[in-house]
Amino acid sequence: MKATGRALFGVALCAAATFGYFAWWAKQPGFGAHEWPLWFVQALGIAVAARAVLRPPPGILRADRFIAGLCLVLALGVAGLFFLFTRDAMYQLPPAVAAQLAPGRALPALARTAADGSAFDLAAEQRSGRLAGKKVVVAFFRGFW
């Protein structure tokens, strides 16, 4: 039972890092630049589960070693899915619109809510002439999802 307990602890570490990412970590400002602690916990979980399989305590049952192996596979699967999500799915951003934004060019259609809560359409404001002679700053940022 000792090897199974260690392997389950490794799976719990991987699961805690994964679910902690979605429950708390992703809501923190600047989280994308500071994911290394979660990767460290993932690696620690895999190492704990692998040690339970590769160096089991003496006198364990074959079934206990088999369950520890399944836990190692589960820890690797959880860490692999975490990797796929954070490195592939999360960073597949839409194409940049920087080519559409240039001095003298017409502004792209962009309807958003202004700071005061009113509707604001960038292209319509330019066509109406209300932006003539004014400098406009448009800030784009990724919000919480």
Q: CB pairs under 8 A, 24+ apart, for 35-39?
A: 35/86, 38/82
14 part of a folded domain: yes
Residue-level pLDDT at 94: 53
Whether the pLDDT of residue 143 is over 70: the answer is no
Residue-level pLDDT at 107: 66
119 part of a folded domain: yes
| 68-112 per-position pLDDT tens digit | 889 889 999 998 888 887 776 555 555 555 666 677 777 667 777
Q: How many domains does the chain have?
A: 2
Closest-CA residue to 79 (of 131, 113, 35): 35
Q: Do both 13 and 51 map to the same domain? A: yes
Closest-CA residue to 76 (of 26, 42, 29): 42
133 part of a folded domain: no
135 part of a folded domain: no
Residue 31 carries which side chain, given as an amino acid letter?
F
Whether the pLDDT of residue 65 is over 80: the answer is yes
Q: Do both 72 and 112 map to the same domain? A: no
28 part of a folded domain: yes
Confidence of residue 44 (pLDDT cuts 50, 70, 90): very high
Domain that holds residue 70: 2-89
